Amino acid sequence: MDRVHSVSGELPTSEKSRVRRGAKRASYRREEIYPLIDELKLGHVGFSENGEAIIIPLTVWRLGCFLYFHVANKSRLQKLIEAGGQVCISFARYDEWVLSKSAFHHSANYRSAVLFCRGERVCGQEEFDAVFKAIINDIEPDRWEQVRAPNLQERKGTALIRLTIEEGAFKSRTGGPSENKEDLTLPVWSGIKPAL
């Protein structure tokens, strides 16, 4: 694949993607967003169809600065992308529950990203194979070399989509509970509990 893009620096932002609530927890740095995508590989892809909001969970993976997913050929999502439509993809993971002495101050330590993207269908067989090889070998090293490559019918039935991230944001929380001074003497445990 001959596409080389920087995997560092900040994503562009606008009023649509800038975090307003809890802005101190926000980042626009690719170095924080990309590891979350690489770890999860599950994105919730949102788009609008006939004025209705639709969200579909899909396997989404990253190569360089591009995101990829695949759908059935001639699907509504493929048609939207090929017509120049924008999608919004969210990634989120709860790492820990944060238990406070107050019900109001319970929280979670988390990492999340919301990305606005446009894309195109990957049509060349060389890139098609390279992109699928990357995700399959990421799941299990060298697996692509052991399995049968997609046949002609499978290639015709699959639309592989390459997305460019136009803008987005990362948001996270770490640390222990926030406690009101008057609650500190309450006889109840507070602290961090791993999320399952």
Residue 192: inside a domain: no
Please tell me the distance from the alpha carbon of residue 9 to that of residue 30, in angstroms, as a whole number.
6
pLDDT of the residue at 6? 57
pLDDT of the residue at 126? 93
Residue 146: inside a domain: yes
Please tell me the distance from the alpha carbon of residue 136 to that of residue 145, in angstroms, as a whole number.
10
Residue 183: inside a domain: no
- Contacts of residue 37, defined as CB under 8 A and 6 or more positions apart, other chains included, come to 43, 60, 61, 62, 67, 91, 113
Q: How many domains would you assign to the chain? A: 1
Residue 2: inside a domain: no
We report the CATH number of the domain holding residue 62 as 2.30.110.10
Q: What is the dihedral of CA 27, 56, 133, 11, to 10 degrees?
A: -20
pLDDT along the chain (196 residues), means of 10: 59 92 92 96 96 96 97 95 97 96 95 98 94 96 96 94 97 94 94 91
**Per residue, what are the HEC states of 65-118?**
CEEEEEEECCCHHHHHHHCCCCEEEEEEEEEEEEECCCHHHCEEEEEEEEEEEE
Model-level pTM greater than 0.85?
A: yes
The parent domain of residue 76 ranges over 23-94+110-177
Residue 148: inside a domain: yes
